[in-house]
């Protein structure tokens, strides 16, 4: 729901200031539409229905995986693809992964979104409407900006959306922003007053390999990115999560684990090893054994590491996969 348009429409209708909050509260609590808003006068509900679309996104496809993961593909009013995922965990956690851009201007070589054409930044409303879509299915409590796009390149809209998340049931502490290491964005996050988790997609322990996997490293090399993360930690005192996609024979060797452990201060960083979700790229994912050995090598050198649970593999849940397939079909 476009909240600025809502404000304007309510003002034009001569409605009191509390109406916008009232409508938003219904939406944030999972109302299916204006009809559900029983304390909003019926005439006003009719007017809102025709002037303020209940969602800025149109659902195009929804895929349900056997593990409970739900992936949604939407289109914006101008036909841009947007993907979001709901992950359900056994301990009851409900975590949403949202997109910040349609497509992505960066060209990480292993990522399906990186091969798509860049569309545009999503508005704050388009980001929130991904969340509300799942909130209408069930209560949700965690969120990560790990869908399509680079959130730090759309910082203003990402933070504007994040500010509304507690109303939907997602605190800032349970919100995370994942970045390729877009240094100006990391610095801006450090300056905000919100205790949002910072996650860095690292994927290599040194510049040559990292530039090969992620060309953005040419612009913001490792030392600069890690310095920004360390400044973030100094100011916020929250650990930075490192994402490391495991690519067979590329970044998963013992020596690379040792190099990674030497690079990262264990007080500041925790590593999350990500099994590669195969796309049409040149890479193969590391075997389970290789991932376990890499994790053991990190821990033996004092760096904490976890292996990410793979979710929704049967529904093309990796970044950009659903949108890329639908575009190709």
Binding residue (CB under 6 A) for ligand SAH from 2, 126, 129, 150: 150
257 touches ligand SAH (CB under 6 A):
no
Binding mask 98-117 for ligand SAH (x = CB under 6 A): ------------xx------
> Contact, 5 vs 52, CB < 8 A?
yes
* C-alpha neighbours within 13 Å on the C-beta side of residue 90: 2
Reading phi first (left if > 0) and then psi (alpha if -120 to 50, else beta), residue 92 is in left
> Contact, 55 vs 132, CB < 8 A?
yes
CA angle (132 as vertex; 9, 151 as ends), nearest 5: 95
Helices and strands of the chain, counted as H and E runs: 13, 12
Closer residue to ligand SAH (CB): 37 or 111 = 111
Closer residue to ligand SAH (CB): 55 or 179 = 179
Q: How far apart are the C-alpha atoms of 124 and 85, rounded to whole Å? A: 17
Active site residue 319: yes
Which residues 6+ apart lie within 8 Å of 73 measured at CB? Answer: 59, 60, 61, 62, 81, 82, 83, 322, 323, 326
User: Considering all CA atoms of the chain, what is the largest pairwise distance in Å, rounded to the nearest integer?
Assistant: 68
Binding mask 206-235 for ligand SAH (x = CB under 6 A): ------------------------------
Q: Could you tell me the smallest distance in angstroms from the CB atom of residue 54 to ligand SAH?
A: 27
Closer residue to ligand SAH (CB): 269 or 276 = 276
Q: How far apart are the C-alpha atoms of 137 and 306, rounded to whole Å? A: 30
The single residue of 15, 83, 126, 150 carrying the catalytic annotation is 83
161 touches ligand SAH (CB under 6 A):
no
Closer residue to ligand SAH (CB): 55 or 286 = 286
Binding residue (CB under 6 A) for ligand SAH from 140, 250, 319, 323: 319
Return the residues of window 276-315 that contact ligand SAH according to CB under 6 A.
276-277, 279
Q: Which residues of 18-31 are buried (b: 16+ CB within 10 A; e: fewer)?
A: ebbeebbebbbebb
Q: Could you tell me the smallest distance in angstroms from the CB atom of residue 198 to ligand SAH?
A: 10
Bridge partners (DSSP) listed for residue 34: none
Closer residue to ligand SAH (CB): 179 or 217 = 179
250 touches ligand SAH (CB under 6 A):
no
> Contact, 246 vs 280, CB < 8 A?
no
Q: Could you tell me the smallest distance in angstroms from the CB atom of residue 202 to ligand SAH?
A: 8
Closer residue to ligand SAH (CB): 48 or 144 = 144
146 touches ligand SAH (CB under 6 A):
yes
Torsion of CA 63, 64, 65, 70, to 10 degrees: 90
Active site residue 104: no
180 touches ligand SAH (CB under 6 A):
yes
Binding interface with ligand SAH (CB under 6 A): 110-111, 146, 150, 178-180, 201, 243, 245, 274, 276-277, 279, 318-319
Catalytic residues: 83, 319
């Amino acid at each position: 729901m476009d909240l600025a348009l809502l404000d304007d429409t309510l003002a034009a209708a001569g409605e009191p200031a509390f109406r916008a909050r009232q409508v938003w509260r219904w939406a944030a609590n999972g109302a299916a539409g204006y009809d559900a808003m029983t304390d909003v006068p019926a005439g006003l509900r009719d007017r809102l229905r025709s002037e303020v679309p209940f969602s800025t996104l149109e659902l195009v496809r929804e895929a349900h995986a056997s593990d409970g993961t739900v992936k949604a593909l939407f289109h914006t009013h101008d036909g841009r693809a947007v993907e979001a995922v709901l992950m359900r965990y056994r301990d009851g956690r409900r975590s949403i992964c949202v997109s910040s851009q349609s497509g992505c201007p960066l060209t990480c070589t292993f990522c399906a979104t990186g091969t798509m054409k860049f569309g545009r930044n999503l508005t704050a409303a388009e980001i929130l409407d991904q969340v509300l879509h799942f909130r209408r299915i069930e209560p949700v409590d965690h969120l990560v900006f790990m869908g399509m796009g680079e959130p730090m390149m759309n910082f203003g809209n990402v933070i504007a959306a994040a500010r509304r998340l507690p109303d939907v049931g997602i605190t800032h502490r349970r919100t995370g922003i994942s970045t390729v290491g877009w240094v100006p964005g990391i610095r801006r996050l450090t300056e905000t007053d919100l205790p949002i988790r910072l996650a860095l997609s690292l994927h290599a322990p040194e510049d040559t390999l990292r530039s090969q996997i992620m060309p953005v490293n040419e612009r913001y090399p490792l030392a600069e990115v890690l310095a920004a993360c360390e400044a973030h930690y100094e100011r916020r005192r929250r650990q930075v999560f490192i994402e490391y996609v495991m690519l067979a024979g590329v970044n998963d060797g013992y020596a690379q684990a040792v190099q990674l452990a030497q690079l990262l201060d264990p007080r500041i960083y925790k590593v999350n090893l990500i099994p590669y979700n195969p796309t049409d790229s040149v890479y193969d994912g590391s075997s389970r054994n290789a991932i376990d050995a890499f994790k053991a090598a990190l821990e033996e050198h004092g760096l904490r590491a976890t292996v990410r649970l793979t979710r929704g593999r049967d529904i093309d849940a990796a970044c950009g996969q659903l949108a890329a397939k639908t575009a190709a079909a």
